[in-house]
């Protein structure tokens, strides 16, 4: 290739884009772990419509924003959010440095192995545990600790690594959307710095496309070396009505596709599907006690009630784990 004008560059780009688009549209089974049925059809119809220039529902590539909740949507969340499992392990590891915890709740109950009593203090107790386990160290050190935990800790029920409990059908969906020019984002109530440690490797979602809850941080220079240290103060809670706020703040553009599983995702789906153009809202329904868990209205974690009642009226798709997914974990 010896000529190099903007026109030539443009021609190469067009050729590449066309080649990729044709490959993508042929990808009849980009979703092999999804059973044929209404849910799969709704997804593929939407993707074909939004990526076909002649279609009334066409969406230009720059606007193809798809947002995914994480806990219960991209990976499992029972019996406790995996980040809480991390926090509990971290509290145990830190105990030698905190003799006072033996007398102090929620740590005392936690160290006796009584999780229920530890969490009886509600939000305040959870916050204490999160701050003790997530703050007071640099971003680099925190990342290393999370990475180490993810590489070794095992889920109490399945014995798998936690990253082995991501949902195979969702991995396929993320890849299928990206192959069709969608930019995929995580929009989670979980901590953004926790999620970023594995999101790229596991989901193919780079750090800059992860929106989550956060604690404040400070910038300091020690002996010429700058450090960012995590502080024991909440910065932002990316849950419920916080999700559209987080989307506006971090993405700055209204998504066209939103996928969640609990009432914590209600506003995210609402914000996405009341947009003037084409949109798709989806909810994973955990109805598979054999392969995963079955829970909805009464669950403390991943409660889904309003979404079940109002979702169908709003045209949202309820994805049944039991019926729609051929496989659950990879």
Does 312 sit near a second copy (CB under 8 A)?
Answer: no
Which of 147, 232, 246 has the alpha carbon at shortest distance from 188? 246
Span 122-141, contacts to a second copy by CB under 8 A = 139
Interatomic CA distance for residues 13 and 29, integer angstroms: 26
Stretch that binds a second copy, among 15-23, 41-49, 109-117, 285-293 (CB under 8 A): 15-23
Measure the CA–CA gap between 16 and 292, rounded to whole angstroms.
41
Q: Which residues lie closer than 8 Å to 218 by C-beta, 6 or more apart? A: 228, 229, 231
* Residues 176-205, interacting with a second copy (CB under 8 A): 179, 183, 185, 192-193, 196, 200
Report the distance separating Cα 135 and Cα 241, nearest Å. 25
Instruction: Pick from 36, 114, 141, 208 the residue near a second copy by CB under 8 A.
Output: 208
Binding test (CB under 8 A) with a second copy, winner from 44, 209, 261, 279: 209
Which residue number, 148 or 248, has a Cβ lying nearer to a second copy?
248
* Number of residues written out for the chain: 330
Least Å distance, CB 204 to a second copy, is: 10
Q: Does 8 bind a second copy (CB under 8 A)?
A: yes
Minimal distance, residue 38 CB to a second copy, in Å: 25
Q: How far is residue 134's CA from residue 234's CA, in Å, rounded to a whole number?
A: 11
Per CB under 8 A, does 27 bind a second copy? yes
- Which of residues 270, 292, 296, 324 is near a second copy by CB under 8 A? 270
Q: Are 162 and 146 in contact (CB under 8 A)?
A: no
On whether the CB atoms of residues 68 and 77 are closer than 8 A, the answer is no
Do residues 188 and 238 make contact, with C-beta atoms less than 8 angstroms apart? yes
Any long-range contacts for 295-300 (C-beta under 8 Å, 24+ apart)?
Answer: 295/78
Could you say which residues in the range 67-106 bind a second copy, by CB under 8 A? none
Quote the tokens at residue 169.
Answer: 């059908």
Binding of residue 144 to a second copy (CB under 8 A): no
d(CA 94, CA 21): 51
Near a second copy by CB under 8 A: residue from 99, 159, 224, 300: 224
Q: Does 306 bind a second copy (CB under 8 A)?
A: no
Q: Which residues bind a second copy (CB under 8 A)?
A: 1, 4, 8-9, 12-13, 15-16, 19-20, 22-23, 26-27, 62, 65, 139, 179, 183, 185, 192-193, 196, 200, 206-210, 214, 217-219, 221, 224-226, 228, 235, 241-242, 244-245, 248-253, 267, 270-271, 274
């Amino acid at each position: 290739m010896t000529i190099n004008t903007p026109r030539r560059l443009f021609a190469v780009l067009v050729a590449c884009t066309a080649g990729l688009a044709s490959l993508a549209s042929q990808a009849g089974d980009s979703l092999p772990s999804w059973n044929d049925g209404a849910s799969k059809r709704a997804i593929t119809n939407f993707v074909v419509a939004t990526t076909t220039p002649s279609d009334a529902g066409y969406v230009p590539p720059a606007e193809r924003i798809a947002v995914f909740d994480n806990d219960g949507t991209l990976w499992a969340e029972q019996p406790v959010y995996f980040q809480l499992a991390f926090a509990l392990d971290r509290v145990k590891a830190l105990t030698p440095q905190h003799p006072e915890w033996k007398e102090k709740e929620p740590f005392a109950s936690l160290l006796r192995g009584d999780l229920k009593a530890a969490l009886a203090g509600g939000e305040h107790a959870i916050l204490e545990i999160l701050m003790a386990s997530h703050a007071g160290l640099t971003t680099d050190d925190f990342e290393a600790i999370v990475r180490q935990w993810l590489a070794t800790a095992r889920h109490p029920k399945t014995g798998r690594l936690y990253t082995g409990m991501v949902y195979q059908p969702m991995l396929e969906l993320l890849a299928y959307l990206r192959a069709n020019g969608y930019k995929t984002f995580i929009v989670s109530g979980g901590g953004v710095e926790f999620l970023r440690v594995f999101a790229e490797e596991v989901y193919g979602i780079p750090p800059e496309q992860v929106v989550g809850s956060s604690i404040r941080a400070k910038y300091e220079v020690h002996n010429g070396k700058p450090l960012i240290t995590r502080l024991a103060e909440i910065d932002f809670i990316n849950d419920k009505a916080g999700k559209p706020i987080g989307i506006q703040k971090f993405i700055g553009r209204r998504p066209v596709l939103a996928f969640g599983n609990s009432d914590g995702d209600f506003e995210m789906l609402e914000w996405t599907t009341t947009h003037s153009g084409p949109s798709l809202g989806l909810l994973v329904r955990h109805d598979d006690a054999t392969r995963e868990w079955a829970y909805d209205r009464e669950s403390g974690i991943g409660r889904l009630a309003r979404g079940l009642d109002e979702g169908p009226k709003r045209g949202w798709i309820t994805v049944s784990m039991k019926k729609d997914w051929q496989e659950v974990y990879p």
